[in-house]
Amino acid sequence: MFTSRQLLEKLVAFDTTSRESNLALIDFVWRYLSDLGVSCELIHNAERSKANLYARLGPAGDGGVMLSGHSDVVPVDGQNWSVPPFALTERDGKLYGRGTADMKGYIACMLAAVPHFLAQPLTQPLHLAISYDEEVGCLGVRTLLEALAQRAEKPAICLIGEPTELQPVLGHKGKLGVRCEVKGAACHSAYAPQGVNAIEYAARLIQQLTAMGERMAQHRDSRFDPPFTTVQTGIISGGRALNIVPAECAFDFEVRTLPQDDAQAIAAELEAFAQAELLPRMQAIAADSAIHFYPISGYPGLLTDAQSEAARLIAYLTQSSDFSTVAFGTEGGLFHQAGIPSVICGPGSMAQGHKPDEFISIAQLEACDAMLQRLAAWMSQ
């Protein structure tokens, strides 16, 4: 049997940055579970360069609990690490390496607990899921959920082990990323009124976004931080030379919504403004002027009922009903949308995630091991 620390050392050694394949890690997990007598299923991407892993143990039947985590990590490019990012380094009770907190620490605990679950007289099934490409928009888990949707037997609860210092979390905001491309008409800047300045029209769209954000800030939910839906423009490009009226401009913006708000409706409002207010002026000068919007990424928010079975379970496992929310997104909204109520709870802190010298404390790993043992006992009642 491997301890969670031993498994974490093996998992960290796989460079599963989202731009890379995760198949070497998935193959390791496949072999580990197969050696324990647990059958696994792989659900590949279209290129077969990445895969989700799904496994199930315990009795047949509907329901049960799913433990879920993502295998991919964010890049280390440009970060100043004092330790090798893809090797586990122990120092002062902490384990350093990319993904230790987000979220290979949880996956290591999940895998280390499998022999314990197998030794219990489980009265309901345990489902295990490891996804890919969570860090770039929760992309990989969607094919896993599509596969589960075709089956009669589904988990009743999903426990997603994103780093929350093992505090029970019931909610997070949703996100929608959008690219806007503005096509104007170039001319010599000495005759600027004869052209259509794509940068200036993009600026009007961004100004409209800012006004929409100010309006949405009036509707607050104190369970979240910040307590309102936000919009922000993160990238902009356009123009070729100062003496040329720019014919192209593109910008990317994101909407981070309270779970009760509709990100698509916000994007549609901006598009309607573009169609009604800006395009007629642009096309009066150059008929082929255009404004196009393209979704980049997105995932729904999550807000699990504090009285639900999922909430009661995580309160029992953490011995706390002090439920909270997190600012970052997870796959939880997608699981919930698929009819699998979800909660977020895992070892480590996102304060260390995505940073150089990312770490998780040994104490947090041990506490997560204990939490999963409580889950095994609960599932055997």
Alpha carbon distance 71, 107 (integer Å): 8
The DSSP bridge pattern shows strands 89-91 and 65-70 to be unpaired
Spell out where 184-327 has E strands: 230-238, 248-257, 290-299, 302-303, 324-326
Alpha carbon distance 216, 210 (integer Å): 10
The DSSP bridge pattern shows strands 174-183 and 290-299 to be antiparallel
Tokens at residue 230, please? 């936000």
Alpha carbon distance 202, 167 (integer Å): 42
Is 72 a catalytic site residue? yes
Is 77 a catalytic site residue? no
Element (H, E) at 41: strand 40-44
The one catalytic residue in 9, 15, 72, 331 is 72
DSSP 105-147: HHHHHHHHHHHHHHTS--SS-EEEEEES--TTTS-THHHHHHH
Q: Confirm if 162 and 102 have CB atoms less than 8 A apart.
A: yes
CB proximity list for 319: less than 8 A, separation 6 or greater: none
Alpha carbon distance 47, 143 (integer Å): 13
The one catalytic residue in 102, 133, 134, 254 is 134
Tokens at residue 105, please? 């620490």
* Catalytic positions, written as ranges: 72, 134
